[in-house]
Structures are given as structure tokens and as C-alpha cells.
Amino acid sequence: MAEGQFPFFKPVGDSAIVVVFGEQIELALNRRVHAFDREVQRRQLPGVIETVPAYCSLLVHYNLLETDYTTLLTQLQHLLALCDDAKELPSRLVEIPVIYGGERGADLPFVAQHNHLSVEEVIALHSGAEYTVFMMGFTPGFPYLGGMNPAIATPRLETPRIHVPAGSVGIAGSQTGVYPVDSPGGWRLIGYTPLKLFDPTLNPPCLLTPGDRVRFVPVVTEDV
């Protein structure tokens, strides 16, 4: 399919193909990405090393010693025609305890003020939604979560923090997420979870995977 007509395929470097399903960040489009990703993984196409789902695209890395662009492109196009992306995919529901506000959620008052809400209303709206892991990225195990109520959407910090502790829960624009490891970051911090989202000693090391559903549960202590 030609570029610009969705979905379309195009090479990325000399050993990857990206399948682009659209341009918007929306749940229906993201579900198509994950449905196709699962089909590609299920078929175990020769030479495919890794698939990387994003908001509205799927990147497929391949081994040039086992396949080539033309062969894999033909296989992917055939799979796409067979893929039933309308079917409801099985997914896990993961509950994440959150201690809202305080020193680890220093931006919660700003989020409330920016949206003309009380702190309690922000907490209720943030914890009252069910989110979908659209994709992973930025740092190992970082989930980009879709489904946040637009009433609490808040712009990023103009100057990112040099250090954001692991477990910090943040908002950036219309998205929310959790920092799995200590890192720099520009998201507005509204709370903290004692839950470990990334542990390199485990298999798999990441608590969440794309397509998972997430709910935040307000708590008042780390003893959960």
C-alpha cells in the first residue's frame, strides 16, 4: 500500500520495516497495532528478531542473514489482510497503588489549579479511569497510558527535572505514566507507587506490557 494511504509499509534502515496504521493517538488505532503485533509474533516469521508496537505503528526488526525486505514485506502484507483487528484481544488488568500528593507528588496542586479543580477532584478523576498501555518506551518499563480524563490534562514542565525517582506517577498532556527507574523527566508528578515496574532480575523484567489495562488505586501508606 502506498505511503499516506493507511495502513502502509516502509523500510527503516536496512533491517526493519514499519507498518503505519494512522496518525492519531486513539484506542481503536492502538488496538489494531497490538492485534497485528500478536499475529506477527504468533506466526514466527523466519528472520523476525523483534517487534516494537507504538501508538499507531509497528516496527519489525529482522535478520538479513535469514530474510530480506521484499520477502518479509510480502509476508507482512499477507498477514495484515488476514488479521482480525476488530476482535477483542485478551488483556490483563493491573492495579497500581498510588500515594497521591506530598513530596513525591509535588505537582498535584498545579494540576488542580491549571484545570480549575480541587486536589481531591484530580485524584478522583485520575484514579477513576481505566487505562490502556499504548506502548513502552523512554526508559525500560515506562508505560505510556491512554484513557486519561481530559479534564486533568496538563502540559509538561518547561524545564525537565534532572532526577525523577522510580515509582513517580506523572501527567504530560493527555497522558499519564509511571517512572520505572530513576531518570530525568518533564512530566507533572502527582504521586508515587511503591510497586516495582521494572526489575532486571525477573523474566520478564517489566511489570506491564503493551495492551495491558491499568487502574490506579489511592492508598495512604507504602505498606500494600
Task: Compute the average pLDDT of residues 213-224.
Answer: 86
Task: Compute the average pLDDT of residues 64-81.
Answer: 94
Report residue 23's pLDDT band, with 50, 70 and 90 as the boundaries: confident
Report residue 71's pLDDT band, with 50, 70 and 90 as the boundaries: very high
Q: Is 39 found in the same domain as 14? A: yes
Estimate to the nearest angstrom the gap between the alpha carbon of 132 and the chain centroid: 7
Report residue 142's pLDDT band, with 50, 70 and 90 as the boundaries: very high
Could you tell me the pTM of the whole model?
Answer: 0.82
Task: Compute the average pLDDT of residues 201-208.
Answer: 92
User: Among 4-13, 77-86, 105-114, 210-219, whose mean pLDDT is lowest?
Assistant: 77-86
Task: Compute the average pLDDT of residues 28-52.
Answer: 91
Q: Rounded to the nearest 10 degrees, what angle do helices 69-82 and 27-43 cross at? A: 120
Closest CA relative to residue 215, chosen from 160, 133, 134, 136: 133
- Is the per-residue pLDDT at 88 higher than 70? no
- Is the per-residue pLDDT at 15 higher than 80? yes
Q: Is 182 found in the same domain as 206? A: yes
Mean pLDDT of the chain: 91
Cα(61)–Cα(53) distance, integer angstroms? 11
Q: Is 208 found in the same domain as 100? A: yes
* CATH code for the domain in which residue 72 is found: 3.30.1360.40
The DSSP string of 137-155 is -SSTT-EEEE---GGG-BP
DSSP label of 85: T
Paired sense of beta strands 188-192 and 93-100, if any: antiparallel
Across the strands, what pairs with 61?
16, 50
Paired sense of beta strands 93-100 and 213-218, if any: parallel
Q: What domain range is 159 assigned to?
A: 93-218
- Is the per-residue pLDDT at 46 higher than 60? yes
Task: Compute the average pLDDT of residues 12-41.
Answer: 90
Burial of 218 (0-12, 13-18, 19+ CB in 10 A): middle
Q: Give the total number of structural domains in the chain.
A: 2
Per-residue pLDDT, 224: 58
Per-residue pLDDT, 75: 95
Per-residue pLDDT, 91: 79
> Nearest-5° angle of CA 203, CA 207, CA 210?
105
Q: Is 131 found in the same domain as 161? A: yes
Cell numbers at residue 103, please?
A: 513530596
Q: Is 98 found in the same domain as 190? A: yes
Q: Is 177 found in the same domain as 111? A: yes
Q: What backbone phi and psi angles, to 5 degrees, belong to 217?
A: -115, 115
Task: Compute the average pLDDT of residues 163-168.
Answer: 96
- Is the per-residue pLDDT at 85 higher than 70? no
Task: Note the helical H segments in the chain.
Answer: 27-43, 69-82, 108-114, 119-127
Q: Is 136 found in the same domain as 49? A: no
